[in-house]
Amino acid sequence: MYLQGKACYFLIGFFYFFSHFVSAQDQRIADSLSKIYLEDSLEGRDRMELLKNLAFNERKDHDLALKYSEELIGLAKLTNDNKYLYSGYLQKGDTYLQRGDLKLALDAFFESAKIATIKTQIKEDEGVAYLAIADTYSSMDNYGNAEEYYNKAIYLIRKTNDSIALASALLNAGDTYFINKKYNKALDYFEESGVIFKKVNYLTGSAYNLGNVGLVYAEQGKHDLAEKNINEAIIILEEQEDYYPVSVYLTYMADIYINKGDFNTAFNYAIRSLDLATQYGLKEQISDANLKLSELYEQTGNKDASLKHYKDYIVYRDSVINIQKVQQMADIRTNHEVSQKQVEVDLLNEQKRNQRIIVIATAIALLLIGILAIGLFKRNKYIQATKRIIENEKERSDNLLLNILPEETAEELKNSGKVQAKKFESVTVLFSDFEGFTKYSEHLSPEALVETVDYYFSKFDKIIEKYKLEKIKTIGDAYMCAGGLPFPSDDHAKRMVLAAFEIAEFVDKIQKEVEKKNLNFNVRIGINTGPVVAGVVGSKKFAYDIWGDTVNIASRMESNSALGKINISENTYQLIKDDFECEYRGEIDAKNKGMMKMYFVKGIKNKELFEQLKENNSVVK
């Protein structure tokens, strides 16, 4: 009954690595210190201390944080200061880890570990570096290496007085054992980390620790203990306003009470999870909570309510074509047709044997020659027909693969069985979302709901194909695409904005045409430009996806947009301002990103660009 296939564990963040800081990373501190940096009045160790604090607290601009780290590394090398050199590489690795460049993060962390081991010979620094390496391996799902470096880090940190670092290392190591179903080992680590968090009165650490212990008990079937720990975690996290884990834990509590046969209490927890996820826009958990409620209503015999929540679940679920199943179906069909042909051949051979019994020797010889000729002819036809069937199914599978992945990526996957992740320095990402779609979908059957979504997204697909952009995925009624990959280009930001105009115009046109049918959809569009990592995820379902802070900021642009408007970031604005009319909106608070400059794109300033597009159906660089 539990949430199969979902990562329901939570790692303590990177801030505890630096125990000499009083608090966690704070963008406000970076903004304040940047004024001192711009004055350029500090030198020597004072300037290196300033750079270390700037790199640590700068969360809004990863490129700026890397600049501070690189300058710190350069000054430390000039002055032969190994302590600050160690800090520079550690901060550099943290920034790469935050934006999803895991390979570069590992390189920097290993460099900091080498400095701590050979040059500074400070066990606490070495332990912190190993802890950073372990967390990076855990993010890469390389749990064998993660476990090895967690053990090294814990061994060294135990020799220091850094309690929070030790407790965090134990908690994160326990998560690794939990994922690998080593529940007793995980509980040992959680128990020790819990004692330390409680001793230093670190509430967030205590909450995650209690929740993770509850998850282990839930997997072991110890429902009372699971309930006790998870409830305590929920109380603390609600006070801390950390709502995503609360929503996940509430769904787990619903599972516990389903196993107890107490459906009323299970309903209460599932509804709380849905309400909380809806309030804070946690789409992934909205989907999970709706699925859980659908299952509960189905088990209690309320089919209508079950269908309603299942439709809501469909709206938020990421619809990705299962290419492996499609290929298996093609193979099954091919094998079936081949087997039918083989049956025909077997029957023909049986007829030959019967004829050899009832005819004389000469007739048998002549007939055998004739049958053999006929058999060879039919077998040749059978082989050619089978070959055509296999080729047709292979072509069909290849076309399905190209519908999911870019051509270059699909070829790499077919040739090597895997796809290497690639870094792109400049990519423009677009998110769109329909206003009022969830309420509208409640009045449709599942078939009509899918047909409606397909109607809009099929048109979106044609628009982005026209502008040589790449569709990434859809999540419920949200649509995501990118420009500048898999082949880098210079004009992807302009092409993306032109595509956004067509999308907005199409939705507005449809809204007016079907006004009498109450299909009053409006669309919000957000765009951002920056570096991303792209690759293929999944072993059973292939999906081409992109990661990085650029994607998160694009999502924030969409959520802070207005109906029928195109909201862009400062990065995108700098690339398109000469060709488009833009309205500056000021600095707006973006969730988890702080204050960010935003612009509405009002129209096309460069009419020549538009006419060129109209004639050539593509934008000339």
What's the pLDDT at 417? 56
Mean of the pLDDT values across residues 460-465? 93
Strand ranges inside 211-299, DSSP E: none
Ramachandran category for residue 301: left, alpha or beta (phi over 0 → left; psi -120 to 50 → alpha): left
DSSP 5: T
- Residue 389's pLDDT band, with cuts at 50, 70 and 90, is low
What's the pLDDT at 581? 94
What's the pLDDT at 18? 36
Mean of the pLDDT values across residues 507-520? 69
What's the pLDDT at 518? 53
Q: Decide: residue 14, CB within 10 A, 0-12 exposed, 13-18 middle, 19+ buried.
A: buried
Cα(421)–Cα(105) distance, integer angstroms? 15
* Residue with token string 């690759």: 535
**pLDDT at 158 > cutoff 80:** yes
Class of domain 422-616: alpha beta
What's the pLDDT at 11? 45
What's the pLDDT at 599? 97
Q: Decide: residue 458, CB within 10 A, 0-12 exposed, 13-18 middle, 19+ buried.
A: exposed
Are 606 and 579 spatial neighbours (Cβ–Cβ below 8 Å)? yes
- The answer to which of 77-91, 393-407, 438-452, 559-573 has the lowest mean pLDDT is 393-407
Joined tokens for residue 584: 């500056």
Mean of the pLDDT values across residues 270-292? 83
Joined tokens for residue 75: 């000054």
DSSP 588: E
The DSSP result for 549-581, as a single string, is HHHHHHHHHHHT--TT-EEEEHHHHHHHTTTEE
Joined tokens for residue 347: 């029957």
In order of 26, 180, 295, 304, 312, the CA distances from 450 in angstroms are 44, 37, 21, 18, 12
**pLDDT at 597 > cutoff 90:** yes
**pLDDT at 259 > cutoff 50:** yes
Q: Decide: residue 46, CB within 10 A, 0-12 exposed, 13-18 middle, 19+ buried.
A: exposed
Mean of the pLDDT values across residues 232-258? 81
**Percent of the chain surpassing pLDDT 70:** 78
Assessment of whether the complete model's pTM goes beyond 0.75: no
SS3 assignment, position 462: helix
Mean of the pLDDT values across residues 553-579? 93
- Residue 427's pLDDT band, with cuts at 50, 70 and 90, is very high
Mean of the pLDDT values across residues 374-380? 76
Q: Which of 54-68, 340-354, 581-595 has the largest mean confidence?
A: 581-595
**pLDDT at 156 > cutoff 90:** no
Q: Which of 64-73, 224-233, 317-326, 414-423 has the largest mean confidence?
A: 64-73
What's the pLDDT at 384? 75
Cα(335)–Cα(353) distance, integer angstroms? 27
| Segment (H or E) for 280 | none
- Residue 437's pLDDT band, with cuts at 50, 70 and 90, is confident
- Residue 601's pLDDT band, with cuts at 50, 70 and 90, is very high
What's the pLDDT at 79? 92
- Residue 620's pLDDT band, with cuts at 50, 70 and 90, is very low
- The answer to which of 60-69, 132-141, 370-379 has the lowest mean pLDDT is 370-379
What's the pLDDT at 342? 46
- Chain centroid, CA 139 distance in Å: 12
- Residue 245's pLDDT band, with cuts at 50, 70 and 90, is confident
Cα(131)–Cα(115) distance, integer angstroms? 15
What's the pLDDT at 348? 54
Are 10 and 245 spatial neighbours (Cβ–Cβ below 8 Å)? yes
Q: Give the end-to-end CA distance of the chain in Å, rounded to a whole number.
A: 54
Output 404 or 241, whichever has higher pLDDT. 241
Cα(366)–Cα(348) distance, integer angstroms? 17
Cα(5)–Cα(2) distance, integer angstroms? 9
| Segment (H or E) for 418 | none
Mean of the pLDDT values across residues 415-427? 77
What's the pLDDT at 74? 94
Cα(255)–Cα(272) distance, integer angstroms? 13
What's the pLDDT at 328? 37
Cα(230)–Cα(213) distance, integer angstroms? 8
**pLDDT at 178 > cutoff 70:** yes
**pLDDT at 404 > cutoff 60:** no
Q: Over the chain, what is the mean pLDDT?
A: 79
Cα(472)–Cα(479) distance, integer angstroms? 8
What's the pLDDT at 57? 82
Q: Residue 587 pairs with which residues in a beta bridge? A: 597
Are 132 and 14 spatial neighbours (Cβ–Cβ below 8 Å)? yes
- Residue 408's pLDDT band, with cuts at 50, 70 and 90, is low
Cα(459)–Cα(510) distance, integer angstroms? 11
Q: Which of 69-73, 170-174, 300-304, 386-390 has the largest mean confidence?
A: 69-73
Mean of the pLDDT values across residues 576-584? 93
What's the pLDDT at 142? 85
Among 599, 592, 550, smallest CA distance to 576 is for 599
**Residue 165 CB neighbour total at 10 angstroms:** 23
